[in-house]
Amino acid sequence: MKQDHFLTSAYDVRMPRIIYGTAWKQERTAALVEQAIETGFRGIDTACQPKHYNEAGVGEGVAACLKGGLKRSELYLQTKFTPLNGQDPQRLPYDANAALSEQVAQSFQASLKNLQTSYLDCLVLHSPLANQQQMQQVWQAMERIFHSGGAKQLGISNCYDLTQLEELYRTAEVKPAVLQNRFYADTNYDRSIREFCRQQQIIYQSFWTPTANPNVLAHATLKNLTKKYQRSAAQVFYRYLTQTGIIPLTGTSSAAHMREDLAIFEFELTAEECAAVEMLLY
């Protein structure tokens, strides 16, 4: 990835404009992560959540690439603390009976071990907690990790309530630098949330982007652009997102699709074309 394929967060962290997601890869995780990095991806998203992620497999794939000459500083690595309600009770990465702050600390240490790294580029809260007190306990524990140098920035995922995000931003000492949500019509494409993110310099990341938007990909507007640029509908949609400040996650297991996803930087939509795609989100 070239220099203009990255952006810089409010915490001065260099982030790729497209990130490889590792959910539901199971035993294929290590090989797919290695393949993604070798293809050119420089951002990897995972979670300390054995229910849906093989975080140790991510670490294996990353380690293989580091042995091949890649520098850790060239890679953006983000993982998540997943609260108990998102975990498989038979495969917990921390003590279920420990205090919330200790669960965060244990999860973080497990992630460092799994990923074979000494720091994270971003630690993300996988989903909001049941009440504000619990949210503060968890976020303050994450802030301690940030202050210790264990994570360069913090973020939150699956947060679709603007009031909740505003409250977190207001009360946090270390403000969220990243918000990762599903980008789809059911939430009105997070329009009010994305506006808040723009105002506060929070980077918005989208996941399940093509899967959740079949109607957008099939629309005549996209089809016309695919013909003009000789690209797939997914490539055009991803390019629109990157040009409007959104970082999409792609979890493809196909080597061909990996190359296609990175090839979105080989063309650029006009302002008018971006506006036309934007209209499909209303």
pLDDT in tens, the chain (282 residues): 787 899 999 999 999 999 999 999 999 999 999 999 999 999 999 999 999 999 999 999 999 999 999 999 999 999 999 999 999 999 999 999 999 999 999 999 999 999 999 999 999 999 999 899 999 999 999 999 999 999 999 999 999 999 999 999 999 999 999 999 999 999 999 999 999 999 999 999 999 999 999 999 999 999 999 999 999 999 999 999 999 999 999 999 999 999 999 999 999 999 999 999 999 999
Q: What is the pTM of this model?
A: 0.97
Mark out the alpha helices in the chain (DSSP H runs): 29-39, 55-67, 100-115, 132-147, 162-171, 191-200, 214-217, 220-229, 233-243, 255-262, 271-279
* DSSP line for 38-52: HHT--EEE--S-TTT
Cα separation of 130 and 217, whole Å? 35
Give me the residues paired with residue 45 across strands: 21, 78
Q: What is the CATH number of domain 3-210?
A: 3.20.20.100
